[in-house]
Structure 1
Amino acid sequence: MRRLDRRFDPQAAYDITRRQYGSALLLRRLVEAAPPGAVKILGLTEHDLFIPMLSFLFGQAQVGGVAALVSLARLRPEFHGWPPEPALLRERARKECFHELGHAFGLVHCEDRGCVMSLSTALAQVDAKRAEYCQDCQALLPRAGFGSEDQ
């Protein structure tokens, strides 16, 4: 794993009426920014994300693809009028990064509400799940290429 400092202008993804950023375009830009031969690329943004059918997203990924994107905006307590809590933000971000990378490795949403791959449409759901994959999802990861020696 290595950290890349690749930044791109997100303004083309901005929807002025929603005051949010379309995640599909940002995800495509992330794919374009991936170095040749990259197994996966994870992008983090401070921007509030959406897709047309949902009012917001915590993140989005290409299922079985190279890219995953996580927004920190709504994971921040202060977004909701609460005092900042850096440790809580880190834990939420960790869960959502694991979740979106799970999608990139081919996992779909899990029915186990404690699994990091369970669907989260509200912060309470993010907070309630563990920052780890359930046994069933863990068993699927090696078949998806996670943990192979070339990574």
Structure 2
Amino acid sequence: MPRAPGPAAAAGPAAEARPGVLALVPFYCGERSALLEPLAGELRATFGLEVERQAPNFDPETAFDGSRGQYNSRLLLALLLRHHPGTAKVLGVTDADLFIPVLTFVFGEAQLDGRAALVSSHRLAPERYGLPADRALLQARLVKEAIHELGHACGLVHCSDGRCVMASSPEVVGIDLKTAAFCYRCTAALDRRERA
């Protein structure tokens, strides 16, 4: 789920700029923490950035909405931006259930053409849909959603190619049908942005 660009957060601690680094910020991952190392490898290969795992420098509970029993992804994005400055991109990874006010849930969200992205494994797990646990399937879904949200943070919008990782996937079946790769149009768009 892309988000319109927002103002840069200036309230966070000063940090040395490190343009070739992706900060991977896990929180509330529990037993799914085992998914993080393979995810980091896939992100490193896809984006060519050094992936640095960082502990959250914020309290995720400030984004919890008790009436919904979920975490507001927009508030979490703002926290990631404010409290994890200095890297090219920052990706929050959680097992918390995410929402935005106009939708029941989201798999993730990103600041369009910005620094921050967020993804949750909560609704990606097969057992959530009455199926047996399948770690490989969960890992594949998490990788695709993380690449998708970081694609938004790199300025890409949803793609009409259903196999492209940037295809919109409001349900897990759509995630399963697409690949973890950018199509030729999205790859070309990323290349143009890197050269600009």
* TM-score (normalised: structure 2): 0.71
SS at match of 1:17: coil
Match of 2:132 in 1: 83
Match of 1:16 in 2: 66
Asked whether the 8 Å contact 1:115–1:130 carries over to 2, the reply is: yes
Aligned partner letter, 1:53: V
Which among 166, 169, 187 is matched to residue 120 of structure 1?
Answer: 169
Deviation, structure 1 residue 14: 1.1
Q: Report % sequence identity.
A: 49
- Counterpart CA distance in 2 for 1:2 and 1:110 is 26
Asked whether the 8 Å contact 1:6–1:33 carries over to 2, the reply is: no
Aligned partner letter, 2:111: Q
Q: For residues 102-142 of structure 1, what are the alpha-carbon distances to aligned partners after superposition, in whole Å with 9 as ceiling and x for unaligned? A: 00000000011111001110000000001101100000002
Deviation, structure 1 residue 33: 2.6
Paired residue total: 146
Q: Does 1:130 align with 2:179?
A: yes
Deviation, structure 1 residue 145: 2.6
Aligned partner letter, 2:70: Q
- Counterpart CA distance in 1 for 2:93 and 2:193 is 23
Q: Alignment RMSD, CA only?
A: 1.5
Which among 105, 109, 115 is matched to residue 56 of structure 1?
Answer: 105
* TM-score (normalised: structure 1): 0.91
- Counterpart CA distance in 2 for 1:95 and 1:133 is 10
Aligned partner letter, 2:109: Q
SS at match of 2:53: coil
- Counterpart CA distance in 2 for 1:9 and 1:74 is 22
Unaligned runs of 5+ in 2: 1-49
Match of 1:45 in 2: 94
Q: For residues 78-112 of structure 1, what are the alpha-carbon distances to aligned partners after superposition, in whole Å with 9 as ceiling and x for unaligned? A: 22232211100110011001100100000000011
Match of 2:81 in 1: 31
Q: Does 1:73 align with 2:131?
A: no
Aligned partner letter, 2:115: V
Greater relative contact order (Cα < 8 A, sep 6+):
2
Aligned partner letter, 2:59: D
Deviation, structure 1 residue 76: 1.0
Deviation, structure 1 residue 56: 0.6
